[in-house]
Copies of this chain bind each other. A is one copy, B any other.
């Protein structure tokens, strides 16, 4: 019998970029990566956004990569002076960084086809830390890379998504988190006490309560039950549904 922890594969997402912190660019990657990883059986446990400052990237990366199975970074691997992620990752791992012949070959082939000059700025995109594997970029050529448990991806959403598709098959995955969403048709405050009692009875499940306002501006609640085994999920879901029926009947009888 394996311990439950052996089935768990965890991840952190590290978003790198001044433009996200200033609010100029609204991040579109966190939610996408979080949902993608959850679906394949990797649990996102933490997200950080840091500026284009080497020591900040190094510190965050070292904190996260020692703590989680995988770290996924986005941003800072383009051709300009503010793209410092590859150098920061090399520093975090204590390895050298230089133009990687594999990456240079990819860029040469790509730019030859499009008649684009492979100048000094573009060659910057071939700087890869020693010992890293490349992550193919089918959208625009310049690769990401994987070093240890860290996947370094582009910040442009379409490119990041293509890189995630490339790297996903190589990831170890755990038991998937299963979930059921129950629309309560009740206000969160009307069912909160009883929902807490149900949650206490099912320590193997995680039960979340999310208020929303429906199409007719009526306050409503989604209750999300999550568990790794189908039996626990079914039992906790049934208990929530039974509780909702009971509480709503009592409210109606007043």
- Assess A34 versus B47: contact at CB under 8 Å? Given A81-B196, A82-B209, A116-B187: no
A193–B189 Cα distance when bound, in Å, is: 58
What are the interface flags for A16-50 relative to B under an 8 Å C-beta threshold, 1 for contact and 0 otherwise? 00111111111100111111111000011111111
Q: Chain A 49-75, CB within 8 Å of chain B: the 1/0 string? A: 111100010000000000000000000
Indicate whether A79 reaches chain B with its CB closer than 8 angstroms. Answer: yes
| Identical subunits present | 2
Confirm or deny: A199 has a beta carbon within 8 angstroms of a beta carbon on chain B: yes
For chain A, the bracket of interface size reads 35 or more
**A243 at interface by CB-CB < 8 Å:** no
A24 touches which one: B80, B117, B189, B224 (CB < 8 A)? Answer: B224
Asked, given contacts A82-B208, A116-B189, A209-B78, whether A38 binds B19 with beta carbons under 8 Å apart, the answer is no
A215 adjacent to chain B (CB < 8 Å): no
A208→B18 contact, CB < 8 A: yes
A193 pairs with B119, CB closer than 8 A: yes
With an 8 A cutoff between CB atoms, is A147 at the interface? Answer: no
Is A134's beta carbon under 8 Å from chain B?
Answer: no
| A174 in contact (CB, < 8 A) | no
Contact B35 A78 (CB under 8 A): no
CB distance from A188 to the nearest CB of B (A): 6
Cβ B46 vs Cβ A22 within 8 A: no
Question: Which of B27, B189, B200 makes the CB contact (< 8 A) with A121?
Answer: B189
Q: Are A82 and B207 in contact (CB under 8 A)?
A: yes
Sample of 10 A–B contacts (CB below 8 Å): A20-B31, A20-B34, A21-B45, A21-B47, A23-B35, A27-B30, A82-B199, A122-B189, A124-B192, A125-B189
Closest CB pairs A-B (n = 5): A121-B192, A23-B35, A81-B196, A23-B34, A47-B49
